[in-house]
Amino acid sequence: MASLTRLGVVLSALGTLATLVPFVGIAELGRVLLEPGPVDGAEVWPIAGVVALALVIGWAANGAALSVTHAADHRLQASLRRRIVHRLGRVPLGWYSDTNSGLVRKAAQDDIDDLHHLIAHHDVEMTGAIVLPLGGVAYLCWLDWRLALLAIATLPVYLVAYGSMMRGFVQKMVELDAGVARVSAAIVEFVHGIIVVKVFGQAKRAHRAYDDAVGEFGDKYAGWVRPMLKLEALTSMALSAPVVALVSLAGGIWFVAEGWVTPIEALAEVLVAMIIPTTLLVLNQGITAQRKATAAASRIVALLDIPPLPVPAQPREPAGHDVEFDDVSFAYEGTDTVVSGISLHCLPGTVTALVGGSGAGKSTLAKLVPRFYDVTSGAVRVGGVDVRHIAPEVLYRKVGFVLQDVRLLHGTVVENLRLGRPDATEDEVIAAATAARIHDRVLALPRGYDSVIGEDAIFSGGEAQRMSIARALLADTPILVLDEATAYADPESEAQIQDALSVLARGRTVLVIAHRLATIAGVDKIVVLDGGAVVEQGTQEELIAANGRYARMWDAYTEGSTR
């Protein structure tokens, strides 16, 4: 890629120098045409031919330069997108729960697009913007050094003003980019929750986060730009075409009157001076784009620097399907301990339920099994092996999970079901869907299993849960983590989901998180959590007989159910 960029710079320099030839040619033609006597075609036509050839060479070289740098840009974007996908595929699963999707989208999409100008255009355009005026000034120096000074006479005024305007530019761009990221995040969050806020008539309140983000961004941008507008308007006049032309003509007339230069040389100076403002505009835009791209690159680097899930150099194979929590403690980064000193042993063929109040640590504890996060201390073992010593692809073949927040991808029903087993046969897919009580619903769709979710198929919460269960059945993992799988189901759907779960749990090691205590009354072991610690464990009968926390929870649940 670097070699392509260097080639683009060389071609751009060649093309730029070629486009300078017509200015010299015009001056030479003027000299020939203004000579006393008849015009000599033998002098005119060679000059015109050189000008035409230079124009063709310039256009071809500049076009080739942009083609080469665009090829470099395509390679870079493809490489970055592959690296980002690779890194996002290796980060801990819990990172996705903790990270705002708007910020990820900006880094993975918008920031890569911001690099386009830097790679595909910046070096080529900056080379032309530097070589063209330097070449022109060098030509004027060859004619007369005073002409060179006249061509850049108004430049110092602009440079001083520009330096003043650009003071603190990098920090301002960082702040503005952060504001754009907050606006993007607010939009994503609002769109995701728009149904809820409309139902409850809180659309105006829900807009507030977006309004606040936009307002903050607008205030900062206006506070930065407003003081510069007057200065920009006044100083840009120093490089406006009328002012440059007026200064050049006035100076040229003076130089000719003094006998320092000829009228044709003064004309050449005017032509060269008129190209300087356009090249400075390109330089200004290029520097701004470069700084913006630099900020974008820093965010991409930050995304690529996210620590991946540690992978063991010599992974071990689990010997069995039991799950053991050995004195496990965990705390999210920068927070207090969420679970502390938990020891449990879940045997194959049994169902262990985690219950407790909100914030008791149930979901966090369950997510330690498939390594959404790694423990702070202690160990989580699968088949007698610490999950940190198991290769991720092996662990995910051993541990499946059905979460309450089901994600169905935009694609066909069969593609969604085969996520865990792409090689599953049609009969196996149908068997899994049938066991999950979703087969009849799929057959009712316009194209059956080939129906596209989001277009042909709109699933309810309970139906999406059964799709997720069918997916887990098809994946056929011996260990299952079920996080409130009936959370969004109505009574009829809940009954169907419970039937599906009973099929799913057979012969497997199951860890289930439940708030509806009736759904776990017959499990092998109930573990009661409070404040991140185990306070009780046993069967339904044992815990009720103990008349402790679970018994109080059961009484409150049954009392609420009978009202």
Across the chain, mean pLDDT equals: 78
Give 55-77 pLDDT, tens digit per residue.
Answer: 788 788 888 888 888 888 888 88
Q: Does residue 314 sit within a domain?
A: no
Under the phi-then-psi rule, with left for phi > 0, alpha for psi from -120 to 50, and beta for the rest, what region is 51? alpha
- Check residue 286 and report its DSSP letter: H
C-alpha 217/C-alpha 179 separation (Å) is 5
C-alpha 327/C-alpha 264 separation (Å) is 91
Quick check: 341 and 328 in contact, CB under 8 A? Answer: yes
Q: Residue 53: which residues within 8 A CB-CB, separation 6 or more? A: none
Of 68-77, 109-118, 346-355, minimum mean pLDDT range: 109-118
Structure-model confidence comparison of residues 362 and 239, the more confident one: 362
| pTM of this structure | 0.61
Do residues 252 and 329 both lie within one domain? no
Compute the residue count for the chain: 563
- Partnered with residue 525 across adjacent β-strands are 352
Quick check: 73 and 119 in contact, CB under 8 A? Answer: yes
Arithmetic mean of pLDDT, 373-397: 89
Instruction: Report the domain count for the chain.
Output: 2
Do residues 145 and 220 both lie within one domain? yes
Residue owning tokens 């009849």:
440
Quick check: 120 and 70 in contact, CB under 8 A? Answer: yes
User: Which three-class secondary structure string do you get for 37-61?
Assistant: CCCCHHHHHHHHHHHHHHHHHHHHH
Of 85-99, 120-134, 268-282, 535-549, minimum mean pLDDT range: 85-99
Quick check: 133 and 83 in contact, CB under 8 A? Answer: no
Do residues 247 and 108 both lie within one domain? yes
As a whole number of Å, the end-to-end CA separation of the chain is: 71
- 304, 333, 364 — which closes off a domain? 304
pLDDT of residue 36: 60
- Looking up residue 58, the CATH number of its domain turns out to be 1.20.1560.10
Q: Does residue 475 sit within a domain?
A: yes
Of 231-240, 479-488, 532-541, 544-553, minimum mean pLDDT range: 231-240
Structure-model confidence comparison of residues 408 and 533, the more confident one: 533
Q: Does residue 486 sit within a domain?
A: yes
Structure-model confidence comparison of residues 530 and 199, the more confident one: 530
What's the domain range around 476?
Answer: 323-562
- 237, 270, 304 — which closes off a domain? 304
| Residue 293: closest CA among 72, 123, 113, 76 | 113
pLDDT of 207 above 70: no
Quick check: 4 and 71 in contact, CB under 8 A? Answer: yes
- Partnered with residue 345 across adjacent β-strands are 324
Do residues 513 and 396 both lie within one domain? yes
Q: Does residue 125 sit within a domain?
A: yes
pLDDT of residue 2: 72
Do residues 284 and 365 both lie within one domain? no
pLDDT of residue 343: 92
pLDDT of residue 163: 65
pLDDT of 187 above 80: no
pLDDT of residue 327: 92
Quick check: 264 and 272 in contact, CB under 8 A? Answer: no
pLDDT of residue 206: 54
Q: Does residue 313 sit within a domain?
A: no
Do residues 112 and 73 both lie within one domain? yes
Do residues 297 and 327 both lie within one domain? no
pLDDT of residue 97: 63
Quick check: 418 and 424 in contact, CB under 8 A? Answer: yes
Arithmetic mean of pLDDT, 105-121: 73
Work out the pLDDT band at 234, boundaries 50, 70, 90: low
Work out the pLDDT band at 3, boundaries 50, 70, 90: confident
pLDDT of residue 495: 62
pLDDT of residue 17: 75
pLDDT of 22 above 60: yes
Q: Does residue 312 sit within a domain?
A: no
Q: Does residue 316 sit within a domain?
A: no
Arithmetic mean of pLDDT, 91-103: 64
Of 121-130, 332-341, 431-440, minimum mean pLDDT range: 121-130
Do residues 491 and 381 both lie within one domain? yes
Give 472-498 pLDDT, tens digit per residue.
Answer: 888 888 898 887 655 555 555 556 666
Do residues 197 and 300 both lie within one domain? yes
Helix H or strand E segment including 206: helix 203-236
Count of C-beta atoms within a 10 Å radius of residue 508 = 19
C-alpha 14/C-alpha 8 separation (Å) is 10
Q: Which two tokens stand for residue 238?
A: 């120093």
C-alpha 278/C-alpha 262 separation (Å) is 26
Return the percentage of the chain with pLDDT > 70, whole number.
75
Arithmetic mean of pLDDT, 270-292: 75
C-alpha 40/C-alpha 310 separation (Å) is 81
Q: Does residue 311 sit within a domain?
A: no
- Looking up residue 551, the CATH number of its domain turns out to be 3.40.50.300
Do residues 249 and 354 both lie within one domain? no
Return the percentage of the chain with pLDDT > 90, whole number.
5
Quick check: 473 and 419 in contact, CB under 8 A? Answer: no
DSSP code per residue over 460-499: -HHHHHHHHHHHHHHHT-SEEEEE-TTTT--HHHHHHHHH
Arithmetic mean of pLDDT, 453-464: 82
Name the phi and psi angles at 511, rounded to 5: -120, 115
C-alpha 244/C-alpha 226 separation (Å) is 27
Do residues 356 and 237 both lie within one domain? no
Of 197-201, 318-322, 429-433, 543-547, minimum mean pLDDT range: 197-201
Name the phi and psi angles at 427, rounded to 5: -65, -40
pLDDT of 326 above 90: yes
C-alpha 547/C-alpha 541 separation (Å) is 10
Q: Which two tokens stand for residue 41?
A: 């075609």
- 304, 335, 350 — which closes off a domain? 304
Count of C-beta atoms within a 10 Å radius of residue 370 = 23
pLDDT of residue 125: 75
Do residues 517 and 472 both lie within one domain? yes
